[in-house]
A = this chain, B = another copy of it.
Amino acid sequence: MAAWGDRLAGVRGVLLDISGVLYDSGEGGGVPIAGSVEAVARLKRSQLKVRFCTNESQKSRGELVALLRRLGFDISQEEVTAPAPATCQVLKERGLRPHLLVHDGVRSEFDQIDQSNPNCVVMADAGESFSYQNMNKAFQTLMELENPVLISLGKGRYYKETSGLMLDVGAYMKALEYACGIEAEVVGKPSPEFFKSALQAMGVEAHQAIMIGDDIVGDVGGAQRCGMRALQVRTGKFRPSDEYHPEVKADGYVDNLAEAVDLLLQHADK
């Protein structure tokens, strides 16, 4: 593999995944990953542009940023690209009125959206709210529509909490897709539109940007398909087998965000 200097040459902007890179969520909110608070601070003091690009869909952006600030991170709501606000944009543009299969924590993001007489289902990482009853309600809503529209905030397979691996929205999305015989529209990583909106907000071209994430498919593969480079961290949901993934090869594997930032500050924008 090429030297780091070649692999990171010309990078001007950095997209950071949040869960599994900055912190591990869990009881009481979560814990920062060792070195990540300082790594974000160093990045932000550098010449590199920084933006946060998350599929977090259990919490509103406000809640998420408040939690990260409590954990010591320098982050503001305006720096975060997240799927719920992007979904509201889609719903408004297309005149869609959602039935929401979501966690109560993210419901407020949809306060301005008409939810009467639903003509689509919007699903997110609902956690404990993925009850049989709630899944059935979403299923029945879709089956009653002539043209069922299912929008999923991300399609992650699972994520890591401090207590262990947890099923993510993608698994439940597959359940509804199969039951209804339809395909969901994904808002969030790895959708190219979502990465592009994050790049646009950062004001950096794809070939000048690098994604840092713990998800080999959603973060690394998705960013690369958009023409970006991507590093995988060995934290969060990382598993050793990811380094031998049959389809996706990261531009580099690093132990954690701190190591990624060390390398970037040494080699990027040269």
Q: Which residues on B sit within 8 Å (CB–CB) of A174?
A: 174-175, 177-178
Q: Which residues on B sit within 8 Å (CB–CB) of A175?
A: 167, 171-172, 174-175
What is the CA–CA distance of A127 and B135 in the complex, to the nearest angstrom? 11
Q: Which residues on B sit within 8 Å (CB–CB) of A180?
A: 157
Q: Which of A124-158 contact B (CB under 8 A)?
A: 126-133, 135-136, 139-140, 143, 157-158
* B179:A135 contact, CB within 8 angstroms: no
* A181:B166 contact, CB within 8 angstroms: no
- A165 in contact (CB, < 8 A): yes
Q: Which residues on B sit within 8 Å (CB–CB) of A233?
A: none
A128 and chain B: residue at smallest CB distance: B132
Task: From B127, B133, B168, B178, give the contact of A171 (CB < 8 A).
Answer: B178
What is the CA–CA distance of A137 and B129 in the complex, to the nearest angstrom? 16
Shortest distance in angstroms between A239's beta carbon and chain B's nearest beta carbon? Answer: 9
Q: Knowing A157-B181, A178-B157, A181-B157, say if A143 contacts B165 (CB, 8 Å).
A: yes
Task: From B128, B130, B157, B179, give the contact of A170 (CB < 8 A).
Answer: B179
* A135:B140 contact, CB within 8 angstroms: no
Q: Which residues on B sit within 8 Å (CB–CB) of A128?
A: 131-133
Instruction: Bits for A113-126, please: 1 = Cβ < 8 Å to B, else 0.
Output: 00000000000001
What is the CA–CA distance of A166 and B177 in the complex, to the nearest angstrom? 14
- A164 in contact (CB, < 8 A): yes
* A139:B127 contact, CB within 8 angstroms: no
A residues in contact (CB < 8 Å) with B: 126-133, 135-136, 139-140, 143, 157-158, 164-168, 170-172, 174-181
